[in-house]
Amino acid sequence: MQMRDGGETALVAVGTCVVGAGTAVGAGQTSNAGPILAFVGAITVALITWYATDKRQSKALEAERERLQDRLLDERRRHDDTLRHEERHQFIEEFRRVLDGATTAIGDVNEIWWDLRTETIRAAEDSTPETREKVSALRAQVISKLRVLWVGRYRLMLRVGATHALAATMQEYHELLMNGARELQPTRPVDELRTEFTRVAKKAREMTERFQAAAVKEIGIPPRPS
């Protein structure tokens, strides 16, 4: 733009000099100097006017180009912001579905755990085919729910990583309850069973609360059972 302005300025200057020189020569060789000077003056004025007008138009076009460029940049920023917002919204919705499923599985395991405790102690005090069958059925339910929880933990891990508080807490919870379901058999002493079942239930409750807190920190609201 600066080179163009410089070229046009030089062109006008040269043109003015040429016209001025021609005028001087022509006026000196004729008696009609007045009309010649008037004609040349008109040409000079036209040349200067063209230059000034063209320069104003160039500045106006440059200003319009910059305005349109700024507008396009603003539109692009708004578009990018909208996409980021939609992606975040989709992530949160999917994340909530995973958390809700995990919360349901944890709640089911916690509920069944107390039934397993009751029936295991009963079987330890009075081992009959009926009590042993109830214990086996409840243990199978706990293990089945824990497998569902493990799938949820894997889905969470894909989104937040294995070391995230949510995934790590689910893994600890799964290991705690899975080991407890396998190890706390009716063949163990009753007092020991009571102590161990209570210990596992307490730790499971603490992990559940930790899971809820991590979920709130991640998405701002607690998960709900599905």
CATH number of the domain where residue 172 is located: 1.20.120
Considering the domain boundaries, does residue 105 fall inside one? yes
* Domains of the chain: total: 2
The string of DSSP letters for 140-206 reads HHHHHHHHHHHHHHHHHHHHH-TTSHHHHHHHHHHHHHHHHHHH--TTS-HHHHHHHHHHHHHHHHH
Distance, CA of 169 to CA of 96 (rounded, Å): 17
Residues 192 and 140 both lie in one domain: yes
Residue with tokens 């944890």: 106
Considering the domain boundaries, does residue 182 fall inside one? yes
Q: Which domain holds residue 103?
A: 87-219
Q: Which amino acid is at 112?
A: I
Distance, CA of 164 to CA of 155 (rounded, Å): 12
pTM for the whole structure: 0.59
Residues 74 and 92 both lie in one domain: no
Token couple for 203: 């730790």
Distance, CA of 147 to CA of 145 (rounded, Å): 5
Residues 65 and 32 both lie in one domain: yes
The string of DSSP letters for 49-88 reads HHHHHHHHHHHHHHHHHHHHHHHHHHHHHHHHHHHHHHHH
Domain stops at, among 29, 45, 79: 79
Token couple for 160: 């937040």
Domain stops at, among 26, 53, 79: 79
Contact 84, 210 (CB under 8 A): no
Considering the domain boundaries, does residue 215 fall inside one? yes
Considering the domain boundaries, does residue 8 fall inside one? yes
**pLDDT tens over the chain, length 226 residues:** 444 454 545 444 545 554 454 544 454 455 555 555 555 566 666 666 766 676 677 777 777 778 878 887 877 788 777 767 777 677 777 778 878 888 888 888 888 999 999 999 999 998 899 999 999 999 999 999 898 888 888 888 887 788 888 889 889 999 999 999 889 999 999 999 999 999 999 999 899 888 888 888 877 766 665 4
Domain stops at, among 29, 44, 79: 79
Residues 30 and 68 both lie in one domain: yes
Give the CB-side neighbour count of residue 32, counting CA atoms within 13 A: 5
